[in-house]
Amino acid sequence: MTNTIDGLQNEIVDDLIVELSDDIEESEEPGYNENVLKIKVKNAIREVRRVRNYPKKYTEEDIVSDLENNYYDVIHDIALLEYNKIGAEGQSDHSEDDVKRTWVSKDDLLASVHAFVTVL
């Protein structure tokens, strides 16, 4: 279990590196850019935090625990989606010859993130 946002970010980056390295032979250069992966994960964490809208009473430890236990997969998937879309930003689909690629919307991934609400 991770205690900090940096720890959570590093854990997700490590998982993504394993996934992206799966098809790479040992003699080949990595097929990923770790610095860019870190940025994508950091941005995904920020987006989930923004949508989640944590109450002020939540400590950083409470937030990290919630993110790790309830939204790890969402953060992972958003970061991977954004990483895979590098070079095709702004496109929702792409066709070339007989290949057609359609991306999941980030909003679809964020739909499973539920915000805290305050009743006035």
pTM: 0.83
When pLDDT is cut at 50, 70 and 90, the band that residue 103 belongs to is confident
> Looking at per-residue confidence, does 40 or 86 come out higher?
40
Is residue 120 assigned to a domain? no
68 pLDDT exceeds 60?
A: yes
1 pLDDT exceeds 90?
A: no
> What's the average model confidence in pLDDT over 94-114?
85
pLDDT score for 78: 96
**Distant-in-sequence contacts of 100-107, Cβ < 8 A, 24+ apart:** 106/47, 106/78, 106/81, 106/82
Is residue 101 assigned to a domain? yes
> Looking at per-residue confidence, does 108 or 46 come out higher?
46
> What's the average model confidence in pLDDT over 29-42?
87
> What's the average model confidence in pLDDT over 11-39?
82
24 pLDDT exceeds 70?
A: no
**Residue ranges making up the domain that contains 13:** 5-110
Is residue 119 assigned to a domain? no
Is residue 22 assigned to a domain? yes
Q: Are 96 and 87 in contact (CB under 8 A)?
A: no
Is residue 37 assigned to a domain? yes
Domains: count for the chain: 1
